[in-house]
Amino acid sequence: MTNTPDTASMVTAKSEAVQAFILHHMSDSRTWSWLPAGHEQLPAFLTLHGIMVIGSGILLIFCLAMACRRPTPVPHGWLNFVEFFVKYIRDDMAIPFLGEKDGRRLTPLFCSLFFYILVMNLVGLIPCFYTATANINVTLGLASITLFFMIAGTILRNGPIAFLKGFAPPGIPWYILILLVPVEFVGLFIRAAALAIRLFANEMAGHLVVFSLLGMLIVYGATALPISIMAVLVFIQEIFVAFLQAYIFTLLSAVFIGQRYHPAH
Amino acid sequence: MDETLQTQSVVEVSAHPEPAAEPSLVKVSGPMMALTWVTFAMVALILYKVAWKPILAALDMREQGIRRALEEAEKARKDALASEERNRILIQEAEQEARRIVSEARSAAEAGARQIREESERRARELSEETRRDIQAAAEQAREALRRETANMAIQLASRVIAANMDAAKNRDLVAEALKEIPRS
């Protein structure tokens, strides 16, 4: 490569092309790009992330139905793996933050949240597939489920008066409550939004880093070959992040719902 | 690969998506959120039926089994301890009983031995007394027999003396002769 104005403009063009590719790959669209070549135009009512949302659900149902089709007193294989997480979610997330009765009742919800987010995260790591959780609408949708249980679940469980009283902690002077109640009320939605943004940002950032590192290979050619090692390491870290983010989302959902269910604590 | 061609292919890939819509990472879409709700609701419902319910039931059953086994083990441990305590008490009582029996047996044996010894001594004394009486009786009988024999001999001697009393010399000879016939012992 010679250091000429043509080379510089070529590098600039490549960089812009790579940026455009990454932006297209990360954002939702109706064109499924099959590498190394070929594009599939999706129907008008479907988007890439929509397919990933539905496909991840079907994949999760299929895998768990296969794992649970022959119940044995002692679990083996995948069922053992699933049971480990189910037990952890019930004993270390649901019951500690919601109490014995509510914790056991809501364990299926948290298990569904955890495994659904995990599968969507992991599916996004497969080449030619897309990360639905890197879409803010998907994470907002999931967080709104948590918000639904924080509001509707609490009203059903404790009653509307108790729900409203939850915004005014006992023993606080009235003039502080004037400030505190609105803050608490807005905090309800901020918590849910934080859940959504945290998951969205982590998943999107990981993919952006991997694509950016791989894009350097395209822009700078063989000179940037060592960068590919770093891309592989970040990709491996993404697998860990997929589990970590599913865990954090589920844990914080349990914490937030538990705070509304038991406002005294 | 020629760099111009490589750039062109990348530009083509990036330029392919629908040109009308500008891709955005944070574009809020109501339909996508609704799709997420509906999909999640269906997934959660189906998973509750096919996975979570049986898995949680199996977990509960296994935990109950383990809890029951632990309780039974604890009960067995307490039973074993109680049984050990009972056995210890029984052994203690048996040892006391054995000591009492041995002590009683020793006392009885000592009493029996004392009784036997006293009986033996008494019997020995009686035998000794009896023997002494027999000896005395035998000696008395012997003396009586001797007296009778001596009297008989004296009578015979006197008879001989009287029968042969002719002179003094002859009497002496007779007496001497008779004396010779008397045993010395």
pLDDT digits (tens, 9 = 90+) for A28-87: 777 777 655 667 777 777 888 889 999 999 999 999 998 888 767 677 778 888 989 999
Q: What's chain B's average pLDDT?
A: 83
B82-110 pLDDT per residue, tens: 999 999 999 999 999 999 999 999 999 99
Read off the pLDDT band of A257 (50, 70, 90): very high
* Calculated CA dihedral for residues B26, B29, B35, B38, nearest 10 degrees: 100
Q: Give the separation between CA A43 and CA A33, rounded to whole angstroms.
A: 14
C-beta separation of A168 from A174 below 8 A? no
What is the value of ipTM here, to two decimals? 0.87
Helix (H) or strand (E) holding A41: strand A39-41
Q: Would you state the pLDDT for residue B5?
A: 42
The shortest CB-CB distance from B36 to any of A65, A68, A138 is to: A138
Which CB contacts under 8 angstroms, 24+ apart, belong to A98-101? A98/A254, A98/A257, A98/A258, A98/A261, A98/A262, A99/A258, A99/A261, A99/A262
Nearest to A86 by CA among A101, A104, A71, A98: A104
Q: Say whether B54 and A24 touch across the interface (CB within 8 A).
A: no
Q: Please tell me the distance from the alpha carbon of residue B168 to that of residue A177, in angstroms, as a whole number.
A: 181
What's the confidence (pLDDT) of residue A59?
94
Q: What is the DSSP string of A162-200?
A: HHHHTTS-TT--HHHHHHHHHHHHHHHHHHHHHHHHHHH
Q: What is the mean pLDDT of residues A131-152?
A: 92
The answer, for B21 touching chain A at a CB cutoff of 8 Å, is yes
pLDDT of the residue at B12: 46
Set of chain A residues whose Cβ sits within 8 Å of the Cβ of B37: 141, 144-145
Q: Which of B36, B168, B58, B18 is nearest to A138 (CA)?
A: B36
Task: Show me where the domains of chain A are located.
Answer: 28-261
Half-sphere exposure of B24 (CA within 13 A, CB side): 9
CA dihedral defined by A12, A13, A16, A21, rounded to 10 degrees? -140
Task: Determine which of A7-21, A201-215, B72-86 has the lowest per-residue pLDDT on average.
Answer: A7-21
> What sign does the dihedral A110-A115-A116-A118 (CA atoms) show?
positive
Residue B116, SS3 per DSSP: helix
Region label for A98, one of left (φ > 0), alpha (ψ between -120 and 50) or beta (otherwise): alpha
How far apart CA A146 and CA A202 sit, in angstroms, is 19
| Amino acid identity, position A141 | G
**How close, in Å, is residue A108 to chain B by CA atoms?**
6
**DSSP-assigned letter for residue A150:** I
Tokens of residue A50, six digits: 């929509």
**Contact present, A35 and A127 (Cβ < 8 Å):** yes
Beta-carbon separation of A18 and B14 below 8 A: yes
| pLDDT at B164 (0 to 100) | 66
Q: Chain A within 8 Å of B64 (Cβ-Cβ)?
A: no
A193 or B182: which carries more pLDDT confidence? A193
Taking CA atoms, what residue in A is nearest to B31? A137
**Residues A39, B16: contact at Cβ < 8 Å?**
yes
pLDDT in tens, B24-67: 677 778 888 999 999 999 999 999 999 999 899 888 888 899 99
Task: Check B52 against A29: CB less than 8 A apart.
Answer: no
Chain B 124-153, residues with CB within 8 Å of chain A CB atoms: none
The confidence score (pLDDT) of residue B104 equals 95
In the 3-class helix/strand/coil scheme, how is A59-94 assigned residue by residue?
Answer: HHHHHHHHHCCCCCCCCCHHHHHHHHHHHHHHHHHH
> For residues A152 and A217, is the Cβ–Cβ distance under 8 A?
no
A31-33 and A39-41 strand pairing: antiparallel
Q: What is the pLDDT of residue B23?
A: 57
Lowest mean pLDDT among A110-119, A175-184, A217-226, B46-55: A217-226
List of chain A residues whose C-beta atoms are within 8 Å of the C-beta of residue B13: 17, 21, 33
